């Protein structure tokens, strides 16, 4: 039961991580520019979409790693 729940959560985190990485802009302005996260600031402040996506990528990557290690420990 716990293994199934962790696998579903791992899949959801994986898809969210892929989305966060793809929406980040690289040197040539990626998909985030199509949602208004180009070179300008977000509502005139220093918190732009790229900063939020960068932090989300770190959090999702860490969560993905921890959940995957937990699944490996359960299956061992």
Domain ranges for the chain: 1-25+48-76
Per the listing, tokens 């899949």 go with 11
Q: How far apart are CA 13 and CA 64, in angstroms?
A: 6
% pLDDT > 90, the chain: 57
Q: What is the pLDDT of residues 1-22, one digit of tens each?
A: 999 999 999 999 999 999 999 9
- H/E segment holding residue 18: helix 2-23
Instruction: pLDDT band for 25, please (50, 70, 90 cuts).
Output: confident
pTM metric for this prediction: 0.70
The mean per-residue pLDDT over the stretch 41-70 comes to 83
The mean per-residue pLDDT over the stretch 45-63 comes to 85
Q: Within a 13 Å sphere around the CA of 70, how many CA atoms are in the beta-carbon half?
A: 14
More confident residue, 68 or 25: 68
């Amino acid at each position: 039961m716990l293994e199934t729940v962790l696998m579903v959560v791992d899949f959801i985190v994986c898809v969210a991580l892929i989305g966060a990485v793809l929406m980040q802009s690289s040197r040539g302005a990626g998909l985030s520019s199509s949602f208004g996260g180009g070179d300008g600031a977000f509502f005139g402040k220093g918190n732009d979409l790229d900063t939020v996506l960068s932090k989300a990528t770190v959090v999702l990557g860490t969560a993905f790693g921890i959940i995957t290690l937990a699944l490996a420990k359960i299956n061992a």
